[in-house]
A and B are shown apart, each in its own frame.
Chain A
Amino acid sequence: MFVCHCGKNIAGTVDVARVSEALARHPGVVYATHHEYMCSEPGQELLRRAIREHRLTGAVVAACSPSMHETTFRRAAASAGLNPYLVEIANIREQCSWVHEGPAATDKAIRVARTMVEKVKGNHPLTPVEVGHAEKCLVVGGGIAGIQAALDVADAGFEVLLVEKSPTIGGRMAQLSETFPTLDCSQCILTPKMVEAAHHPRIRLLTYSEVEEVSGFIGNYHVRIRKKPTYVNPDRCNLCGECAKVCPIRVPSEFDCGLSERAAIYIPFPQAVPSSYTLDEGSCLGLVPLRCGECAKVCEPRAIDFDMHEELLEEDVGAIILATGYELYPKEAMAEYGHGTVPDVIDGLQFERILSASGPTRGEVRRPSDGRVPKEVVFIQCSGSRDPELHKPYCSKICCMYTAKHALLFRHAVPDGKAYVFYIDIRAGGKGYEEFVNRAMEEEGILYLRGKVAKVFRDGDKVMVWGVDTLTGKRVEVAADLVVLAQAVVPTTGAPELARKLRAAVDAHGFLQEAHPKLRPLEALTGGIFLAGAAHAPKDIPEAVAQGSGAAAKAVAILSAPVLTHSPEVAEVDEALCSGCRICAPQCPYTAITVDEVAHVNEILCEGCGTCVAACPSGAMTMRNLSDVQVQSMIRAALSEVPEPAEVKGG
C-alpha cells in the first residue's frame, strides 16, 4: 500500500499517515507507506524496491485518478517483476482530497484504498492477448470512397482486394455530370483514379463480384467472393463494339438510369474499368450459339467465351472496408409526385445523366417524354427526406447542393429557361457551398420558393406543380415541362444484408452503424471492419474521399502491426457452468460472443464492458479482474467501519 501526498494536493486534506497506518492493519496488507510524490522517480523506486524486498503479490497506489498514472505504476511494477494487472490505483485526489474536507476526507480515503486492496486480492496476473493477422485488405464497393480507400491501403504497401458488384468501378460519381461547387467534370477527375486503381500492382480488382460469406474476426477474416462470369475475356476485348450492334436485345441502361437502352452485351460507359464488354446473362437470349450467338460471330478478337464459369475465391484478409454506397429512394414511392408514372418527373441522378456530355442526350437538356428542350423546370428538394410521416426522417445532405448545381447548369444550357426550386431549408455547410447557392439564387436568376410541393400531376404535355410559398403564404402553381425530384439518399439494396454477413450493425434506415457517433466514426462495432462513403450516411464526394482515406489509415494500423494486442481484462466463460442459454450473445455490441453448446468470448473483439456478465443468469460469464466475488468484498471494504487509530503509528 503506497499512499501519495501529491505535495499538498492530497496531504493538505487527507491525513496520509493515518491512511497508511489504517491500511497497514487491513487483512492481506504486508507493507504500507506514504511518499511525497509517488509518480516521481524516487516514488516509483520505492514501489519497485518494496515489490522486490517484500515479494509483493499485489500493490495499491492511493493517488490521483487512474486515468493519470495507472500506466506509470503498472509499468514500474512490471520492471520489478510484478505482473502489471496486480497493481491498482485508489483515487484519493480527484474523488476525495480535492472535493472533501476534514476528517471525513481521511475516512473516505481509507475506505477507497481498502476497496482497491480487496480488488487486488482477487486480481489474477494477466498478459495482453496477442494474435497474428493476415496482411491483406478487402474493400467492398468500387465507388470513389472504395477506390480512395483501396489506393491508400495499397500505397501503404498492402495487398487489396477491391470487390465491386457491377461490371465497372466508378460508382455514382461516374454517373455525375459536373460536381459542386467547382463545376469540374466528374468523370474527368474520377477516371484517372479508376485507372490508377486498375493498374496498381497491389490492388486486385474483382468487378462483377460479390462477397458471399465472411467468417473470422479482426485481423483474421476469411471471405468467400463470388465472381460472376462476364463471358468476355477482358484481355482480348478491344472495345470495338460490334457485338452490341448485332445483339438483338435492348434493355434499359442501368448507367443511364433507364433513360437509354443497352444491348445484352454492353459496356456501362466508354471509360469503364476494367475496359471490357460484359454479357449480361439475365437479358441474353441464351448462352449457346444455337439460340443466338450473334455477338460471338462478329467478335474478331474471339473475346466472347460462352463457357466461362463463375469463380469462387477464398481469401484471408486482416481488415475490411465497407464502401457500398447509396441509391436514391425510388420515385415510385412518391404518391404525391405521381408514383413515378409521369415520364417528365425524374430524379436527380437521371438529370445528372441528362446533363452529362456522355449521357443519353449528349449533354443537351431534353426531356424524356418527347425529347423537347424544357423551358420551365421545377426542382423539388427534400423529396422523401425530412418526412418522418410518409418517407425518411433524415436529411439527405447532398440535395441542396446538387439541386443548386442542377438549376444552374440548366440555366447555362437553356438560357431562356426558367428554373424553380422548392425547398424547406437550405443547408450549405461546406467549403464554398454557401457562396455557390447564393450564386444560383442571385446571379443565375433561379427562383427559390420556400415551401413544400403538395402535388405533381400530368396535364397534357405539361407537368402541373402545386405548391405553397410559405414566405408569402401564397399558393404557387407552375405548369412545368420537367420536374426533378431530389430523392432521399438510401443505402444500396443488399447492403444491409451484406452488413449482416459481416456482423456489422446497421441503423434503422439501413446505413452502417459506426462504433461511436463521435469518437469512432470510421469503425464498425465489429473490430477490423471500417466504413467509408455514403454506405454510412449521406455524404458528398469530398467527405466520402476523406472517410475512405481515414478508413484506409485505420485498416493499415491493423495490417502493419506485428501482432494485434488487446487488453486481457475481458469477459470469460466457465464452460462447465454455461448452459448455452444464449442470453449473453445479443447483449454484446461487438458480436464477440458466439454460442454453440456453450458460449465463447472472442478476446480480441471483447471490449470489456461487462454487460454480458451482468446479464448472464447462471454466473458462467465472468469479468477478468472484476468478478462478482471481488466486487462483493469491495462493497464490504467500502462500508465496514474504519477502526480507531492504533496507539503506535505504523509506517
Chain B
Amino acid sequence: MTEKLEGMSPRSQENSPRTSDLSPVTHHPSLKLAVYWTGSCGGCDVSFLELGAALLDVLSKVEIVFWPALVDAKRADVEALPAGAIDVALINGTLRTEENREMAELLREKSKLIVAYGACAHLGGIPGLANLSQREEILAAVFGDGFRPTPPPGGSPEDAPPELLAAALPLSAAVRVDYVVPGCPPPPGLISRTFDALLGELPPTGHVFASEKALCEECPRTKEDRRLTKVVRPHELLPDPEKCLLDQGMICLGPVTRGGCDAACPKAGMPCTGCLGPTPNAGDQGLAMLSALASLVRAGEEGEAAFASEDKVLDAIVDPVGTFHKYALPATWKVPSSLRGGGSGRGGRP
C-alpha cells in the first residue's frame, strides 16, 4: 500500500473518496474522530497542542469517539460500533505487536478514512531501526532467553502481552491508508492543513499532507559550493547562519525530504533528518540521499589519486543506515537482516 500511496500523483482525481457517501462528513457539524497510537513515543498525541488556539476551533467541530490519550473508551467500545461509524481515524506509531495490527485492522473496519499520522505510521519511523536486529535477538537482549508472552500471575490468557511482530512495519503494511500526515511529529502547519481538509474539501486518496518538492525549496540558506569535502556531525560545528548545511559538511536530508515544515530544523542550524519522508519520485529516501551525497564528495581533483581521501570523507559518516534511513528503514527493508520478502512492493507485508 505504501507503494501505491507514493506512486500516485496527488493531483489525479481517480479513486478519490469524495463520493456521495462521504458528503455528510463535509457538512455534518461534528466529525466523528478517532486518534490511536500503536508503537509510538506519544509525541504525535502531544503534537495537536501545537495548534494553539486553533485547537479549540478544531475541537468544537469534532466528536472524539476514541482517543486513549484523552478519553476513556476501550477497545470493546470500538468493537461495538457499526462498520464505518468513525469518520476519520488518525493512527500514529509503528506496527510492532500483534495487538497493534489488530487495532489497525479494527479501526480500518470502523472508519471511513484512515490517516497515517506521523513518521512511524507513515514509514515505520525511528522504532523501525529495530529491524536491523532479528526479533529473537531483541527479545533475548531485553528479556533474556526463554521469554514467552504469558499472562501475569492470576490473569486470564487475554491479559498476556501481545506477540512481537517479526519486524516493525508502517501502517500501510497492515491496512489501506487514505492519507498521510508526515513528520516526527507532524509540524503544526501540516496538522492544521489536515484538519482544514478533513473538515472541508477532501484531497484525492493517497494525498500526503506535505509539499511535493524537497525541503530545499523552503530553506533560506544559500547553496553555492556544491561539494562535500568533509563530513561533520551537528555537535562538531557551529554552522554559518547563511550557508547550506550540506555545503558545510553536515548531512542534511533536506534535498530528498518533502517540504512542509518551513525548513524548521535547518533554519535553527540543525540538519534535516528526513522525518517528512521522501519526495514523491525519490524512491528509497535513504538510498537516494546516499547517491546524492556520494556524488558530492570531493577530495581535490577527481581521479585515482583522490580515491583514498574521498573514502576517508565518507568514512566520517557514523552509522550510515541510521543517518540515511532514520525514519524509513521498514519501508526499505522488509524483513530484518534480509532484503527479501514475498511480494514486490516496498511496503513490506508481513
Interface positions of A (Cβ within 8 A of B): 507-508, 574, 576-583, 585-587, 611, 614-620, 628, 636
Contact = CB atoms under 8 A, between A and B. Distances in A.
A617 B292 contact: yes
A577 B280 contact: yes
B252 to A, nearest CB: 10
Contact of B217 (A508, A580, A587): A580
A74 to B, nearest CB: 29
Interface centre among A580, A581, A628 (most CB of B within 10 A): A581
B255 interface: yes
Interface string B264-295: 00000000000000111111000011011001
A579 B272 CA distance: 15
B226 A577 contact: no
A574 B213 CA distance: 11
Contacts of B180: none
Nearest to B279: A618
A344 B2 CA distance: 80
A577 B301 CA distance: 31
A581 B301 contact: no
A587 B228 CA distance: 12
B295 A618 contact: no
B256 interface: yes
Contact of B344 (A583, A615, A617, A636): A636
Contacts of A579: 213-217, 255, 259, 279
A620 B283 CA distance: 11
Nearest to B258: A618
Contacts of B281: 574, 577, 618-620
Interface centre among B214, B259, B344 (most CB of A within 10 A): B214
Nearest to A627: B281
Give the top 6 A-B pairs by smallest Cβ distance, nearest first. Answer: A619-B281, A579-B214, A615-B295, A617-B256, A581-B216, A617-B292
Contacts of A507: 301
A513 to B, nearest CB: 10
B301 A508 contact: yes
Contacts of B280: 577, 619
21 contacts: A574-B281, A576-B212, A577-B279, A579-B213, A579-B214, A579-B215, A579-B217, A579-B255, A581-B223, A581-B254, A582-B226, A585-B226, A586-B226, A616-B288, A617-B255, A617-B288, A617-B291, A618-B255, A618-B256, A618-B288, A619-B282
B160 interface: no
Nearest to B303: A508
Interface centre among A579, A617, A619 (most CB of B within 10 A): A617
Contacts of B288: 616-619
A475 B326 CA distance: 68
A611 B294 CA distance: 12
B227 interface: yes
Contacts of A628: 283
A627 B254 CA distance: 23
A152 to B, nearest CB: 33
A587 B282 CA distance: 18
B149 to A, nearest CB: 38
Given A576-B213, A579-B213, A579-B279, 19 more contacts: A507-B301, A508-B301, A574-B281, A577-B212, A579-B216, A579-B217, A582-B226, A583-B296, A586-B227, A615-B292, A615-B296, A616-B292, A617-B289, A618-B255, A618-B281, A618-B282, A619-B282, A619-B283, A619-B288
Given A618-B281, A636-B344, A578 B213 contact: yes
Give the interface residue-count category, chain B: 20 to 34
A616 B226 CA distance: 13
A611 B254 CA distance: 20
Nearest to A578: B213
Contacts of A578: 213
Nearest to B211: A579
Interface in B173-231: 212-217, 223, 226-227
Contact of B213 (A583, A585, A615, A618): A618
A586 B214 CA distance: 19
Contacts of B215: 579
B214 A581 contact: yes
Contacts of A617: 214, 255-256, 279, 282, 288-289, 291-292
Contacts of A582: 223, 226
B268 to A, nearest CB: 19
A362 to B, nearest CB: 47
A586 B291 CA distance: 14
Interface centre among A583, A586, A614, A628 (most CB of B within 10 A): A583
Contacts of B213: 576-579, 618
Nearest to B280: A577
Contacts of B278: 618
Contacts of A586: 226-227, 296
Contacts of B279: 577, 579, 617-620
Contacts of A581: 214, 216, 223, 254-255
Contacts of B344: 636
Contacts of B256: 617-618
Contacts of B289: 617
A615 B256 CA distance: 11
Contact of B292 (A574, A577, A580, A583): A583
A46 B209 CA distance: 53
A447 B282 CA distance: 69
B214 A618 contact: yes
A574 B280 CA distance: 12
A396 B283 CA distance: 50
Contacts of A587: 295
Interface centre among B212, B281, B301 (most CB of A within 10 A): B281
A619 B9 CA distance: 14
A576 B216 CA distance: 14
Interface string B303-333: 0000000000000000000000000000000
A620 B227 CA distance: 20
Contacts of B214: 579, 581, 617-618
A616 B279 CA distance: 11
A611 B295 contact: yes
Contacts of A576: 212-213
Contacts of A618: 213-214, 255-256, 278-279, 281-282, 288
A300 B187 CA distance: 83
